[in-house]
Amino acid sequence: MAFEIIMPKAGIDMTEGQIVKWFKKEGDPVTEGEIILEIMTDKTSMELEAEASGILLKIVHREGETVPVTEVIGYIGHENEQVATLMPEIIEDTGAVESEEDKRMIRLEDNYHVAVIGGGPAGYVAAIKAAQLGARVAIVEKGTFGGTCLNLGCIPSKAYLKNAEIIEHIRTASSRGIIIDSSQIRIDMEKVLEFKNSVVRKLTSGVETLLKTNGVDIYRGVGKINRNKNVVVNDTQIIKADKIILAGGSKVSKINIPGIDSDKVLTSDDLLDIREVPETLAVIGGGVIGAEMGLSFSGLGSKVIIIEMMDQIVPIFDDDVTAELTRVVKKKGIQVITSARITEIVDMGDKLEIRIDGKEPVIADKALLAIGRVPDLDGIGEVNLETERGKIKVDKYMETSVKGIYAPGDVNGIKMLAHVAFRMGEVAAENAVKGNRRTIKLLSAPSVVYTLPEVAMVGLTEQQAREKYDDIRIGRFNFSANGRALASSEAVGFVKVVADNRYGEVLGVHIIGPSAAELITQASLIMEMEITVDEVVKTIYGHPTYSEAIFEAFADVLGEAVHIPKKKK
């Protein structure tokens, strides 16, 4: 099938373009990415690249002609394709009734400036941002708006974690003089699910309302890109747009282990819908998802065993933070098995036996597969996007190897976090509508694990900093010396600052302790604004607050922390 060369729409206001010069003639071979013609708009001239390789079969509009945007101006195809079959067929109106087959494909010609595939964090934000910039926008979503984060990940899991936190407070209340007569805590999973689902429904309906109030047209179904760079919905509708934003998100990663397909092996999606708390839960994978869900179900009453292939859990974090989190997790009664290679999972009827190379097997009622997520590339369809290890490659503008197609969020695999996807979606939308001019900086993007206590980081770990910089300094302050933390019975953890010794540049901040997920934004702002250590310690922090621990850790970098005992020389 031949590839259409169309008059591009270089901006929202562009309605037509004039062909200045064809650099190829009919019958010439062309290569994808090769410049084939020059056009002139009312504002500027621009060169067009071939979007497919083959033969220039037909030039429909010649030099000097003015052509409406999105109209076909030529065809690229195989040498043996018949040119006559490429030209639009003129059909005489006989008054015959259109057949159901003819009605099957509904073509929405020239309707949209931007079409977005996927209604997750990157997709819905991109759609709203593009609409705010004046574009007419369509969005295609196959499920419920909000994506994995809102429906199956960060939001529902936080509802579970809050339950675990409440239970922990109840169990420790007596140490604060609060005596609860009944020591029995019973979990009503039906109500737990009902509350979680109500939160999700409120947020997903809110996203849909935002889209509608911003004038974004919503299409339900599976969206894929065809070879002519149109979006096809459910194989029945074609949406033609100037630019496409592919924000397909991610899906659960799976591993090839014998027995992994047992119905007792659950994904994080499955676990958030179970109606009984398993007596014993084996968590396969000690990363962010595994640590969060392990602590959630431990709080709800499960005996939890975390099985991690690496030599430590949450290995993306600073070693000191990981060591402290491991200590806390074990203190809560969770068993942690590291450097573990699972060889087989055996379904024994009422239990699972998880066999580990060189270690004792783990027996559990259920297992959670929590080894992470991978980009969902289904939306690529027929277009040839450059990928690397299952991730769509994008440039600093979020644009793919095919001009006019952008891929923000989890599909590019750069940093698979919802808050990063939000920003990527904004950047992609602005560049799609206004032309490539906005880039994204990820240095100040934080990572958070909602464990008990919370863990958060931004920038480099100590090890990464030592590999990159010749001279660094470390500052640290424990929450055990923070007044607010002590008064709140949350004096576990610390703040750690990594800085360049020569210039005082902040290289990384790491927090494990109360409200770490909220506190890390201060550190992100410090790094984004390129504030030095000396400038931070000139700031007056409120007292008593958890954030004073940040101030003290920065002061410790300079050896000026007041509330740390003087170190022996």
Q: Per CATH, which fold does 3-88 belong to?
A: OB fold (Dihydrolipoamide Acetyltransferase, E2P) (2.40.50)
Same fold, 108-148+194-250+374-434 and 453-557: no
Between 65-79, 351-365, 454-468, the lowest mean confidence (pLDDT) is in 65-79
E-only strand ranges, 51-185: 54-59, 66-68, 72-77, 106-117, 137-141
CA distances from 113 to 13, 103, 141, 393, 432 (A): 10, 25, 18, 23, 9
Domain range 108-148+194-250+374-434, its CATH number among 2.40.30.260, 2.10.109.10, 3.50.50.60, 3.30.43.10: 3.50.50.60
According to CATH, what is the number of the domain 265-371?
3.50.50.60
Strand pairing of 72-77 and 54-59? antiparallel
Q: If you compute the radius of gyration of the chain from its CA atoms, what whole number of angstroms results?
A: 28
Whether 261 contacts 244, CB under 8 Å:
no
pLDDT tens-digit map of 31-63: 887 889 888 876 567 788 888 888 888 899 998
Nearest to 150 by CA among 269, 291, 296: 269
Nearest to 504 by CA among 530, 540, 541: 530
pLDDT tens-digit map of 314-372: 988 999 999 999 999 999 999 999 999 999 999 999 999 999 999 999 999 999 998 87
152: confidence class by pLDDT, cuts 50, 70, 90: low
Whether 50 contacts 36, CB under 8 Å:
yes
Per-residue pLDDT, 92:
40
Angle subtended at Cα 413 by Cα 121 and Cα 442, rounded to the nearest 5 degrees: 75
pLDDT tens-digit map of 105-119: 344 445 899 999 999
Nearest to 407 by CA among 178, 6, 123: 123
Does position 191 have pLDDT exceeding 60, yes or no?
Answer: yes
pTM over 0.85: no
Q: What percent of the chain has pLDDT over 70?
A: 91
Mean pLDDT across the chain, nearest whole number? Answer: 87
Domain boundaries, given as residue ranges, for the chain? 3-88, 108-148+194-250+374-434, 265-371, 453-557
Give CA–CA dist 247/117, Å, rounded.
6
Positions annotated as catalytic residues are: 543
Give CA–CA dist 426/245, Å, rounded.
11
Name every residue whose Cβ is closer than 8 Å to that of residue 152 and which is 6 or more positions away in sequence. Answer: 268, 269, 272
Per-residue pLDDT, 446:
95
Residue 205 or residue 407, greater confidence = 407
Per-residue tokens: 234: 């459910």
Per-residue pLDDT, 102:
36
1: confidence class by pLDDT, cuts 50, 70, 90: low
Does position 535 have pLDDT exceeding 50, yes or no?
Answer: yes
How many other CB atoms sit within 10 Å of the CB of residue 365? 17
DSSP output for 360-393: EEEEESEEEE-S-EEE--GGGTTS---EETTEE-
CATH superfamily of this structure's domain 453-557: FAD/NAD-linked reductase, C-terminal dimerisation domain (3.30.390.30)
Give, as one character, the DSSP assignment of residue 309. Answer: S
Does position 83 have pLDDT exceeding 60, yes or no?
Answer: no
- Residue type, position 35, single letter: I
CB-count burial class (<10 Å; 0-12, 13-18, 19+) for 167:
middle
